[in-house]
Every structure is written in structure tokens, then in C-alpha cells.
Structure 1
Amino acid sequence: MKAKKLLFVSLFINTLYMLPLQAQDWANLAYFSEANAALSASGKTGPRVIFMGNSITKGWPEFVPAFWDNPAYINRGISGQTTPQMLVRFRADVLAHRPDVVVLLAGTNDIAGNTGPMTLEETFGHLQSMAALARLQGAEVVLSAVLPVYDYAWKPGLAPAQKIVRLNGMLRSLAEKEGYGYIDYHSAMADERMGLKPELTYDGVHPNEAGYRVMGPLAEAEIVKALAKK
């Protein structure tokens, strides 16, 4: 019996040591650590527009790399992330670089429950906090509507469509109240079920090239307005 207990303890300890780095670095602060150091050391001048988000932001350069030819644009998207994770890494990945404009696109993974159950009010609060921190530092803020989703393939049955509509209404109201920019991706990309139009997505959640080509001009229009305020 004692030997079995020792074996169990040994296996348990080994399992802890074998946990992936992601489990230890919950917000994935290490993901952009090298890129952040390089940016800080670059002495780069000119405006900085930082895009904070999840896989939709991260995947944009793969589908429409030309959009990111703009030297002002800095991508800080990490796949699968939720808003509390982004809030934790917001100082290191965004504020530390003194951006002129911060573009926030997040919330769909909260609704999908990627890091556990979360209310819309909690998601909204995290986005509100990031926006307030950016403004406090002097950056212009651009909030983005969460893209439409009818169902999540990796977690079906959550009925996200109307939740996204509600969250976007909260974000639009915040933008109007605080004078933030607002990119209405949802209206431009939703079908009759309040999901992504099939021609704009490869999986019902993430945009394809056509989807990003819809998003690009909408984002640029709000960024131009934001930069004009500086």
C-alpha cells in the first residue's frame, strides 16, 4: 500500500512538471516577449496602432498580408484568448509601446467559454477596463464589434448569435458615451441567422480572405479618424 501511495505521488508530481508552459503562463505573456523587446529597442518613430485580439486578429496577416504593410500597424493577437487574459497582458503587449491608437477586437471566446463561464457584463467590463487604461495613457481607442457566430464548432449548442448582438450593443453604447471609435463588422458580415455569411468564413467563426477584405476598409476608416484626433 505504501509503495502504491509513493507511486501515485511520483506520477502526480511528474504530471505537474509535464504541464505545458501555457498552463503556467495563463495570459501567455511569453508569447510576444521577444517581439516586445525588439519593438522597444527599435527606436521606431511614427504613429503606432496596436491591434489587441484573439485568433481573428492573429490570423489577419496570413490572409491579407498587404493590410499589414502599414508600418504603424502592430498585431498583438493570440489564438483562443479571452478578455481577462488580454487584460492581464495589456500593459506588456500594448501600453508599454505608447500606442497612438488601440484597436480592441475580443469577446467571442468569452462567449464560447474558452476559460470558463463568463457573463456578458464581465466580458464588457474587461473591454471597458482596457479601453480606459489606453485612454488614460493618451491613446485613442477603437472598439470593434464581435463578428457574428451562429454556432461554435468546438463547443456547439451555446446559441451565441444573440449574445453577440447584445454585447455589441453594449460596446456601441460605450463608444458613443466615451467618444471611442467603433467598427461595425457585425452589420457588414452577418447573414439572416446572425451568423457569418458563408462566403466570408471557412468555419463559421473565423474570416477567410474575403472576410478580411470586408474588415480592412472598415478598420482603416476608423483608424484614420482616430489618428486625426492626435
Structure 2
Amino acid sequence: MNDDRTSCSLLVPYNRAAYNAQDSADRSSDACHGLQPTPMPPSPPLIICFGDSLTAGFQTATPQNPTGRETPYGDFLQERLGGWAMVRVSGICGELTGEMVLRFRQDVLAHNPAYVIILGGTNDLGWNAHPQEVMRNLVKLYEQALAASATPILVTVPSIRVEDTGDSPDARDWIAGHLARRHQLNGLIADYASRKGLPLIDLFAATADPATQQLAAVYSNDGLHLTTAGYRLLADLIYEQVFASASPSGTSRPALIS
């Protein structure tokens, strides 16, 4: 599996603490001049999209996208949410879940998010890591988010697609093995979400060809990363399944899945 981590950028998350500190300073200045502070609306909840190249929005260059421009699903989610929430993207290409654990506190928890959308494990599986080993790292992320009073939104890993395998038994066995590991990992993710009452976005089911269980061509042009349509679909799923019912005039959290 190619390590493409140099092709993606890491975006700096929104700093809620700095926002609140500036707001407090402004209020103090008004008080010193005998002005009655005007009640300020609460700051919008922060949503951090956290993961690897599928979070960074990496795309393989095509005639339609010759520069391979990144299209993070977080950008599309921000469009759907409008001003109700702030969305920030923290994705590094080629990253393994163990590396995600190492940077989670600094890149996510330090910014006090209300929600963290966690998508990881594709690269681990590409390096033949066991699904239970990957899940142990993901659970660390989920538990750290919960301990920090943030709601983790769990996302299953998508499928893969391999073209022109012919009738080779070895190729069929290779594909079957990779799909089986994805199904196993996604089953563990779904079970955790069910037990903890957390939101689950089944990206695998939404983007797989029902006939082959491989990643549908409309959602991926390289068999691993998503197209713009795929990233937009993920944003739509998150919005519709988690945030659509939230009041646009308040910051109360949507109800968790029971």
C-alpha cells in the first residue's frame, strides 16, 4: 500500500478558548466605560472531522480534476449546517490509527469540540493489520472524546475496488480477504456504537456496489479514495442522521441514538 501522507494538508482546528477569551475581554472594556454589556449569543458548537486521507478529502488526479484538488467532506458539512456550527478538518494522508491516537489530544481535545467525527482504519487494513488491533486504537479515540464531554460520531471504513482481476483465484481470494477484514472492523465499530448509544454513519453500506460489495465507481475513481460525489454523500449522511433535527437557534445537542 502506498504511503501518500505527503500529498495532504492538516488544517488548523478552530480555537474556541481564544474566541471566548476575546469575548470576555470585550465585555470588560465595555464595563470600564460605564456601558451595559450586551448579551452575546453563545459561540457555535465546534465539530472536528478527524482521520486520514478520507477526512482530508484526497482525490487521485483525473481529467475532470487534473490537480487532484482536495474536497473534504467537512466543507460540504459546513454548507449544510450554515452558521449553526463551526466545522474544522484534521486529516493526514497515510495515517494509521495508532498515529491518530498520538495526536488526538493536541489536535482535537485541546480545542474543546462538541462533536468529533472519527474515520480511521483504512490504512491499517491496507497494511494487513488485524481488525481487533485497529479497533483498540479507535476505542481509545472514542473514549477520550467521551471523557472530554465531546460526542464522537463513528464512521465505518468504506470498501475498496480492484479492476481487471480476471479469473485469477489468487486475486479473488485477496479481494475476499480484504472485504472480510473490513466487514469485521465495521461490525466492531457498529457494535460499539450500539452499546454506547452513539451516532453511527455506515459509509461502507452507502458507497459499496450491492452486487460486488466493492467500492462503487461513482464514489471512487481509484478504488480507495472518494470522489467529490462520495465526500458530499458522507457529509449529507452525517447531516441528515445526526444534525438535521438540531434547532438552528440553539446549541443543544441532538439526541444520541438509543
Using the size of structure 1 for normalisation, the TM-score is 0.74
Query: Highest relative contact order (Cα 8 Å, sep 6+), 1 or 2?
Result: 2
Q: What number of residue pairs does the alignment pair up? A: 194
Deviation at 1:219, TM superposition (A): 1.3
The yes-or-no answer on 1:43 pairing with 2:19 is: yes
Alpha-carbon distance, 1:213 to partner? 2.6
Cα deviation per residue 1:116-150 (whole Å; 9 max; x = unaligned)? x5221110011011100100111111100101114
State the match for 2:88 in structure 1. Answer: 74
Deviation, 1:85, is: 0.4
Partner of 1:178: 196
Shift of the 151–86 alpha-carbon distance from structure 1 to 2, 3 Å rule, reads: farther
Match of 2:160 among 149, 152, 160: 149
2:166 match: none
CA distance in 2, matches of 1:219, 1:96: 23
Structure 1 residue 205, shift from structure 2 partner: 0.7
- Counterparts of 2:201 and 2:16, CA distance in 1: 29
Tell me, what secondary structure is at the counterpart of 1:35? coil
Pairing partner for 2:119 from 105, 111, 121:
105
> What is the SS of the residue equivalent to 2:77?
helix
Bigger proportion of residues as helix: 1
Superposed, which structure 2 residues align to 1:130-145 within 5 Å? 130-145=141-156
Q: Secondary structure at the match of 1:102?
A: strand
Normalising by structure 2, we get a TM-score of: 0.67
8 Å Cα contact 1:150/1:160 also seen in 2:
no
Question: Following the alignment from structure 1 to structure 2, what is the Cα–Cα distance between the partners of residues 185 and 106?
Answer: 12
Q: Which amino acid aligns with 2:185?
A: L
1:213 aligns with 2:232: yes
Task: Note the C-alpha offset of 1:221.
Answer: 2.4
Q: Distance in 2 between matches of 1:79 and 1:123?
A: 17
Root-mean-square deviation (Å) = 2.8
The reply to whether residue 202 of structure 1 matches residue 221 of structure 2 is yes
1:100, 1:81 → 2: CA distance? Answer: 24
For residues 185-209 of structure 1, give each alpha carbon's deviation from its aligned partner in whole angstroms, at most 9, with x where no partner exists: 1111111222110111110111101
| Unpaired segments ≥5 residues, structure 2 | 21-42, 59-68, 164-170, 247-252
Distance 2:102 2:113 in 1: 17
Q: Deviations over 1:78-129 (max 9, x none)?
A: 101110000000001111011101111011100011xxx5221110011011
Query: Secondary structure of 1:207's match?
Result: coil
Greater CA drift, 192-201 or 54-63: 54-63
The share of aligned pairs that are identical, in percent, is 28
Q: Which amino acid in structure 1 is aligned with residue 148 of structure 2?
A: Q
Unaligned runs of 5+ in 1: 1-26
In structure 2, the residue matched to 1:91 is: 105
Residues 47 and 88 of structure 2 are in contact (CA less than 8 Å); yes or no, is this contact kept in structure 1? Answer: yes
Match of 2:159, SS state, is coil
How much has 1:67 moved relative to structure 2? 3.5
Shift of 1:212: 1.8
In 2: Cα distance, 1:229 partner to 1:47 partner: 15
